[in-house]
């Protein structure tokens, strides 16, 4: 197994025998060594990593020594390769070697020859311990930098989440404020109607006009029913805004069949509902998707043409990778094909098609807006489709419609495949 870079001693000696003898002595004590015959070889080894550099005084005269000293200067800030120099002594030589150490920006140990082997061994061991501490310090600093980076990333992510949730909260507050103002305004209409017709009923009843009194009482009931629908839709919309909608794979066909078995208004003879083909599983919230289906099917039945049985057809298809026309399975064969917007192969589109009164082209762009209605004279509250869009947004999907006045409607829901 090769020695790690902080435990190999590089030995540079012009006289090969001196280098080999020193290496043999250190190897006998379990210290890994590498004898370099030229200064250039030592320079390359330093770049790969070393525990200490041991060279003789004579090595200063080697041609590649200036490049070696430059390599020592170029070490990273954490690194200070220990230098051990064997010298013959003498003040001038010692001063020259100290100048070398200063120019190389490294620590230096001068050992005067001849010396005891134990002295050299001890100096090498001290140098290697110092080198190992440098590597350990580098590891600690790297770990600290990683932790600082992780903390900065965590802080940035936390700030992003806070900003995102703040934006959502502000959006929710804005929606609720708008919703509260509008629903309060809309509720005043049936309330005023009940008050007015109640007064007329009182007068008619007191004067013995029974037929007029019954008429006014019926108008009171109609207004009360509208207010009840407004309150129910308001509660459902408020719930959709506030509650969590965990997403999981859902079988839309199973939900639809369960609804058809449960709701009498979706069964014959009140309505004819056909579920065609296979439905892939989609990523949705079961309660949320049920609410969307219920609202769309309810509208299809509610806004049927007078004297005509509501006919509803439901199917699913993948979204296409390039624009193309929808399949020709419309209930109204004369309707021209309509391009699907923003096609993608990563979604499942569920179609709900009816033969009802349809939606005016002027109203189609804002039919999913709060309190918008598909027809100017329809009896809806204008909350049902807004609820569908809000729930689809919460589930990561989209909702849309294709419709013409008097020609029925085709609503679609886009969800990720499950």
Contact present, 8 and 131 (Cβ < 8 Å): no
- Of the chain, the percentage scoring pLDDT greater than 90 comes to 28
Spell out the alpha helix ranges (H) of 74-116.
91-104
Q: What is the pLDDT of residues 29-77, one digit of tens each?
A: 999 999 988 889 888 888 888 899 998 888 888 888 888 888 888 888 8
Least confident of 9-13, 115-119, 134-138, 192-196: 192-196
- Give the whole-angstrom CA distance, residue 47 versus residue 50: 8
Helix axes 117-206, 210-242, angle to 10 degrees: 180
- Give the whole-angstrom CA distance, residue 38 versus residue 35: 9
Residues 6+ apart with CB under 8 A from 337: 325, 326, 328
pTM over 0.85: no
Average of per-residue pLDDT across 13-17: 72
Domain residue ranges of the chain, discontinuous segments joined by +? 8-115, 171-242, 248-321+343-415
Q: What is the pLDDT of residues 391-407, one digit of tens each?
A: 898 899 999 999 988 89
Q: What is the pLDDT of residues 184-225, one digit of tens each?
A: 656 666 777 777 878 888 888 788 787 887 888 887 877 777
Q: What is the pLDDT of residues 221-257, one digit of tens each?
A: 777 776 776 677 666 666 666 667 788 999 999 989 9
Q: 248-321+343-415, what's its fold? A: Heat Shock Protein 90 (3.30.565)
Domain 171-242, second-level architecture? Orthogonal Bundle (1.10)
Q: Which value, in Å, is the radius of gyration of the alpha carbons in the chain? A: 43
Q: If pLDDT is split at 50, 70 and 90, which confidence band does 179 have?
A: low
8-115 is a CATH 1.20.1740.10 domain: no
H or E, element range at 270: none
């Amino acid at each position: 197994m090769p020695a790690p870079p902080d435990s190999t001693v590089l030995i540079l000696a012009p006289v090969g025998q001196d280098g080999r003898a020193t290496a043999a002595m250190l190897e006998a004590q379990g210290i890994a060594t590498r004898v370099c015959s030229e200064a250039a070889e030592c320079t390359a080894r330093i770049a790969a990593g070393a525990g200490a550099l041991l060279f003789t005084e004579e090595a200063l005269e080697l041609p590649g020594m200036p490049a070696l000293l430059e390599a020592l200067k170029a070490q990273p800030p954490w690194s200070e390769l220990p230098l051990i120099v064997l010298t013959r002594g003498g003040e001038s030589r010692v001063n020259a070697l100290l100048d070398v150490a200063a120019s190389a920006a490294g620590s230096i140990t001068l050992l005067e020859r001849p010396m005891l082997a134990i002295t050299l061994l001890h100096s090498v061991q001290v140098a290697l311990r110092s080198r190992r501490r440098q590597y350990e310090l580098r590891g600690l600093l790297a770990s600290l930098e990683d932790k600082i980076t992780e903390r900065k990333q965590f802080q940035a992510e936390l700030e992003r989440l806070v900003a995102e949730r703040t934006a959502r909260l502000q959006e929710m507050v804005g929606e609720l404020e708008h919703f509260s103002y509008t629903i309060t305004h809309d509720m005043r209409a049936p309330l005023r109607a009940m008050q007015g017709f109640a007064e007329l009923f009182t007068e008619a009843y007191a004067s013995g006009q029974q037929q007029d009194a019954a008429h006014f009482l019926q108008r009171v009931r109609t207004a009360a029913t509208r207010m009840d629908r407004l309150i129910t839709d308001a509660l459902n919309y408020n719930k959709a805004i506030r509650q969590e909608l965990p997403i999981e794979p859902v079988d839309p066909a199973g939900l639809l069949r369960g609804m058809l078995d449960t709701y009498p208004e979706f069964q014959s003879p009140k309505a004819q509902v056909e579920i065609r083909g296979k439905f892939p599983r989609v990523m949705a919230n079961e309660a949320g998707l049920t609410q969307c289906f219920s609202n769309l099917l309810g509208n299809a039945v509610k806004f049927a043409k007078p004297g005509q049985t509501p006919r509803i057809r439901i199917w699913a298809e993948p979204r296409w990778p390039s624009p193309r026309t929808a399949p020709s399975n419309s209930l109204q064969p004369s309707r021209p094909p309509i391009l699907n917007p923003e096609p993608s192969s990563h979604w499942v589109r569920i179609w709900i098609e009816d033969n009802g009164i349809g939606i005016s082209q002027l109203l189609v762009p804002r039919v999913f807006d709060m309190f918008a209605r598909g027809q100017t004279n329809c009896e809806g509250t204008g909350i049902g489709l807004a609820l569908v869009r809000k729930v689809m947004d919460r589930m990561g999907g989209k909702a849309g419609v294709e419709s013409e006045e008097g020609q029925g409607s085709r609503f679609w829901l886009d969800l990720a495949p499950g």
